[in-house]
Structure 1
């Protein structure tokens, strides 16, 4: 057995004590990529799982315009069927009312009173002098005019409303849009560059026919501020506008006649 001197033993003890007091060198850190790789892999897995769940076995990049077109066509057919059924029901009500009027005096009196107002209400076709106006989108140029956008090249709801309001102000007795009779309370709306009227969608060109004195109608168009702005756009962006005077016909109003409000005549 080997013995060490007391001095050497004390030296070792002191070295260990000093080493314990000194700060230890930090261990070498793991490279950042070794931590990032698992995180990225987990995120990618979550993304793939979410995509698969959303797709439901279909392609997310599939062009669904054909399905949308078919949906619109199906809805149009449903609307057409509903309109035909409503027309048959109205005819049945009219026939039964006429039969009842033969034996019921008050019913006959009210029926005659309503018939006298049918023309003023727009429920009969009208023929007379008037204007035919056609609005159309501008041709698509190779390069848009400076400061213009594609919205400037199409007919908007405000353009149609400006023409219609001016014609009413000019004394129009009857009016049709796309051969559909409209009243002063008819709403004209646009969806993109298509016209929505009484639940039907129409594409340009938009044809407006108004019965009235052509000279008075033209004066009203010229005096309308909205029409003036539209005519500036016609000149600047080459929007389509045509106007002609002749003997015209507007059909009878065939939309729903359900009352939303009424007052008792005095």
Structure 2
């Protein structure tokens, strides 16, 4: 029988587990005690103090540099924010000044127009002009009316295992719902209509784009309000028998969409932005 296993060199160093169990004291403590017993001076404390002082100086330097950089960044951020706020304030002031100037010019135009058409023939022309401006929603309107409010239902959490993919909220109210309400109010005898604070005129569109509801290319959000100036009783009586009311009532029962009618004592609509058609066929605003 081969005895090759007896010639295998054994590791004289004890295992790590055995040293952990048997040698509870670190060898460094024993060496330090031997040095003290032999009277040899210990330089460990001096070196430790030197390293501690050096580390404290380095840490202080790092903290100082970081603080200085943070102060510079904060100063730059504050300066940028101040500049942005100043720009916004100046923009608001400019808009307010231009609005006041526009109102003054409109008043001057109305005054000169009234003076120009003071005679009998001119009064007839002025009445036709006023009717055209009212049809174009170019004049402010104030009076009693009714408001239709549509609200998207609150999203309910999907707790099923099938909802692992990304859940994107889907709007239940569509652009054709608002269009149906506006058309039904016009048919009911509304004199002027406003959707989400935007006056509805002949060239105003209501459509959806990318999940957003746009009125005259401006976004409006739920709850959607459709307000109409006109006789409240006539508006409500005609609207509740319209196809738009039946459609929205069904959506309300099936999907929990908010749908309310409110009689208003006093509504005030500003003039809509009137489009001006140029000679080349381009459309603009004034």
Bucket of the pairwise TM-score, normalised by the shorter protein:
0.5 to 0.7
Q: Which residue does the alignment assign to 1:33?
A: none
Q: What is the CA-CA distance between 1:241 and the residue it aligns to?
A: 1.3
Please, what TM-score do these two structures have when normalized by structure 2? 0.49
Deviation track 1:184-228 (CA, whole Å, cap 9, x = no partner) reads 553211234432122321211111111223333234333333432
Judge conservation of contact 2:194–2:269 (CA < 8 Å) in 1: yes
Q: Which residue does the alignment assign to 2:25?
A: none
Deviation track 1:229-253 (CA, whole Å, cap 9, x = no partner) reads 2321111111111211131313132
Q: Which residue does the alignment assign to 1:139?
A: 154
Deviation track 1:77-125 (CA, whole Å, cap 9, x = no partner) reads x9xx89986985685476368558868989x765675246544543122
Q: CA RMSD in A?
A: 4.3
Tell me the secondary structure at the aligned position of residue 175 of structure 1: strand
Unaligned runs of 5+ residues in structure 2 are 1-90, 160-167, 280-286
Aligned length: 183
Judge conservation of contact 2:205–2:215 (CA < 8 Å) in 1: yes
Query: Mapping of 1:20-31 within 5 angstroms?
Result: none
* Residue among 100, 108, 112 paired with 1:95: 108
Q: Which residue does the alignment assign to 1:258?
A: 276
Judge conservation of contact 1:126–1:249 (CA < 8 Å) in 2: yes
Compared CA separation, residues 252 and 260, structure 1 to 2 (3 A): farther
User: How far apart, CA to CA, are the structure 1 residues paired with 2:189 and 2:226?
Assistant: 15
Query: Mapping of 1:1-266 within 5 angstroms?
Result: 88=101, 92=105, 95=108, 98=111, 114-115=129-130, 117-122=132-137, 123-128=139-144, 130-143=145-158, 150-151=169-170, 153-183=171-201, 185-259=203-277
Judge conservation of contact 1:134–1:207 (CA < 8 Å) in 2: yes
Please, what TM-score do these two structures have when normalized by structure 1? 0.52
Judge conservation of contact 1:181–1:250 (CA < 8 Å) in 2: no
Tell me the secondary structure at the aligned position of residue 226 of structure 2: strand
Deviation track 1:11-59 (CA, whole Å, cap 9, x = no partner) reads xxxxxxxxxxxxxxxxxxxxxxxxxxxxxxxxxxxxxxxxxxxxxxxxx
Judge conservation of contact 1:124–1:253 (CA < 8 Å) in 2: yes
Q: Which residue does the alignment assign to 1:42?
A: none
User: How far apart, CA to CA, are the structure 2 residues paired with 1:82 and 1:189?
Assistant: 28
Judge conservation of contact 2:143–2:230 (CA < 8 Å) in 1: no
Judge conservation of contact 2:203–2:275 (CA < 8 Å) in 1: no
Unaligned runs of 5+ residues in structure 1 are 1-77, 262-266
User: How far apart, CA to CA, are the structure 2 residues paired with 1:216 and 1:88?
Assistant: 39
Judge conservation of contact 1:178–1:206 (CA < 8 Å) in 2: yes
